[in-house]
């Protein structure tokens, strides 16, 4: 059976990064991915400016000034932030200046207000020996015109949004969000607003997967429930393939009599690349690629069990979404963290096994604690409230309490 790492590689190789770009208002860009690199249109700071409220002086005038022997200068101008200085400072002169204001020509040093004493109306005593050029933020000190500020593929968080605004972009070009069709297969499924008849269960996967897609930066297209009926399933799968970048269907990928997904994918012309993976939970994973003109679509036939479906999403669909969305390669893979397990973790050793639980940082060390209750792939109840998956490699039967285990966080992926 296909090892997890091979499946991950096959899937990533199937995905072409999105080339679709849209221009959006900067206020709506949080969390989106920058599509074009941003070059500075300005020097930062734009001019030499004061980092303090105080006085702009010539250092040479005050180099011997002390609190005992202060030097007195004539205050010739007041320069608040946003004001263009009108005079060049001459020897013996100072300008009153405020934080962020332009340093006037002729001045080379700012003396903090706290180390000065105004005298009469237009004079000030300098009561310390300042350091030359102190409290001046120099033009271009942070970035110069033409410097690269943000690379394409950068996720826009508050700091990046601030840079875009500061360099004059009120609109920004971002990659279009991946569109992901979601459909649930199974005669037993009903929507949450229905009373359950014997044998029925609610289609929770539709909602779980829609939430996953949104967290991963995509647009979910919820296509609802399709019964285990070959013709209906063929029609629904065909529609999903024609309307999205990815399709996620759950159920119908095992070897049961009603498991039609794989056959239909082949009938519809899909290039089936994966039929099963050596992972637990989540073994029956079908992945196929469709080429529709210049569009390509990746179809993920996920297992129906709620835990299997989500684990497959976190382990396989998330990296594919990251690549499709335009993120750089370093962001595609799960971010593995080494943790100490607080309990024995066991597996049959045949498949790479993922156990769900809580990852906590205690005294600077990551600890992993298994979710209480059954670790059945049908138990969606104890999956809630957990934030991480721990992996037990193939051929390992136990990781004992107190030992190291590789874990990745699923709430932040």
**Nearer to ligand AMP by C-beta: 205 or 386?**
205
The answer to whether 220 contacts ligand AMP (rule: CB under 6 A) is no
Q: Rounded to the nearest whole angstrom, what is the least distance from the CB of residue 389 to ligand AMP in the complex?
A: 19
Query: Is residue 104 classed as helix, strand or coil in its secondary structure?
Result: coil
Q: Rounded to the nearest whole angstrom, what is the least distance from the CB of residue 261 to ligand AMP in the complex?
A: 9
For ligand AMP, which stretch binds (CB under 6 A), given 68-76, 93-101, 245-253, 292-300? 245-253
Q: State both tokens at 103.
A: 């340093």
Partner from ligand AMP, Mg ion, none binding residue 203, C-beta < 5-8 Å depending on class = ligand AMP
CA dihedral 115, 120, 122, 127 (to 10 degrees): -20
Identify the residue among 104, 218, 303, 319 touching ligand AMP (CB under 6 A). 303
Residue 310: count of CB within 10 angstroms of its CB: 27
Burial class, 279, CB count within 10 angstroms (exposed 0-12 / middle 13-18 / buried 19+): buried
Q: Rounded to the nearest whole angstrom, what is the least distance from the CB of residue 34 to ligand AMP in the complex?
A: 35
**Nearer to ligand AMP by C-beta: 8 or 203?**
203
Q: Rounded to the nearest whole angstrom, what is the least distance from the CB of residue 206 to Mg ion in the complex?
A: 14
Q: For residue 179, give Cα distances in angstroms to 18, 130, 211, 242, 374.
A: 11, 60, 13, 11, 34
Binding mask 279-308 for Mg ion (x = CB under 5 A): -------------------------x----
For ligand AMP, which stretch binds (CB under 6 A), given 4-12, 75-83, 247-255, 270-278? 247-255
H-type alpha helices, 87-181: 158-166
CA dihedral 286, 290, 296, 299 (to 10 degrees): -20
**Nearer to Mg ion by C-beta: 153 or 304?**
304
Is the preceding omega at residue 271 within 30 degrees of 0, hence cis? no
Identify the residue among 70, 178, 217, 251 touching ligand AMP (CB under 6 A). 251
The answer to whether 186 contacts Mg ion (rule: CB under 5 A) is yes
The answer to whether 45 contacts ligand AMP (rule: CB under 6 A) is no
Q: For residue 212, give Cα distances in angstroms to 58, 110, 319.
A: 61, 54, 12
**Nearer to ligand AMP by C-beta: 206 or 353?**
206
The answer to whether 40 contacts ligand AMP (rule: CB under 6 A) is no
The Cβ-side half-sphere exposure at 51, using a 13 Å CA radius, reads 11
Contacts of 391 (CB under 8 A, 6+ apart): 352, 353, 354, 405, 406, 407, 408
Identify the residue among 252, 270, 301, 334 touching ligand AMP (CB under 6 A). 252
The answer to whether 251 contacts Mg ion (rule: CB under 5 A) is yes
CA distance 234 to 270: 12
As separate numbers, helices (DSSP H) first and strands (DSSP E) second, the chain gives 8, 28
For Mg ion, which stretch binds (CB under 5 A), given 69-77, 185-193, 235-243, 337-345? 185-193
Q: Nearest-CA neighbor of 6 among 412, 277, 372?
A: 277
Residues at the interface with ligand AMP (CB under 6 A): 184, 186, 188-189, 201, 203-206, 250-252, 254, 256, 303-306, 378
């Amino acid at each position: 059976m296909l090892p997890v790492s091979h499946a991950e590689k096959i899937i990533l190789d199937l995905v072409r990064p999105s080339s679709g770009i849209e221009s959006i208002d900067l206020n709506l860009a949080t969390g989106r991915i920058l599509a074009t690199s941003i070059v500075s249109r300005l020097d930062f700071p734009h001019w030499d400016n004061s980092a303090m409220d105080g006085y702009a002086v010539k250092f040479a005038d005050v180099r011997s000034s002390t609190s005992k022997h202060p030097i007195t200068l004539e205050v010739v101008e007041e320069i608040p932030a946003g004001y263009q200085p009108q005079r060049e400072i001459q020897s013996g002169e100072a300008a009153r200046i405020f934080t962020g204001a332009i340093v006037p020509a002729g001045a080379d040093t700012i003396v903090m207000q706290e180390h000065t004493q105004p005298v009469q109306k237009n004079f000030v005593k300098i009561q310390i020996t300042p350091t030359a050029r102190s409290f001046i933020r120099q033009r271009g000190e942070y970035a110069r015109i033409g410097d690269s500020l943000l690379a394409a593929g950068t996720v826009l968080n508050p700091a990046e949004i601030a840079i875009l605004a500061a360099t004059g972009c009120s609109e920004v070009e971002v990659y279009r969000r991946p569109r992901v069709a979601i459909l649930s297969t199974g005669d037993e499924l009903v929507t949450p607003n229905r009373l359950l008849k014997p044998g029925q269960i609610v289609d929770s996967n539709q909602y779980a997967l829609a939430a996953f897609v949104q967290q991963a930066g995509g647009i979910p297209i919820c296509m609802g429930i399709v019964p285990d009926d070959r013709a209906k399933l063929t029609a629904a799968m065909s529609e999903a393939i024609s309307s999205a970048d990815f399709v996620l269907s759950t159920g119908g990928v095992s070897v049961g009599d009603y498991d039609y997904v794989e056959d239909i994918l082949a009938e519809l012309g899909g290039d089936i690349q994966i039929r099963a993976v050596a992972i637990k939970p989540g073994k029956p994973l079908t992945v196929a690629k469709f080429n529709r003109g210049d569009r390509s679509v990746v179809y993920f036939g996920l297992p129906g069990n709620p835990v299997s479906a989500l684990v497959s999403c976190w382990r396989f669909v998330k990296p594919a979404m990251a690549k499709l969305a335009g993120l750089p390669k370093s962001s595609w893979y799960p971010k593995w963290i080494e943790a100490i397990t607080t309990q024995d973790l066991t597996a049959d050793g045949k498949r790479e096994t993922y156990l769900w639980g809580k990852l906590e940082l205690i005294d600077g060390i990551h600890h992993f604690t298994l979710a209480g209750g059954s670790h059945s792939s049908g138990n969606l109840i104890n999956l809630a409230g957990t934030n991480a998956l721990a992996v037990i490699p193939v051929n390992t039967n136990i990781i004992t309490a107190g030992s190291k285990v590789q874990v990745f966080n699923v709430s932040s992926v």
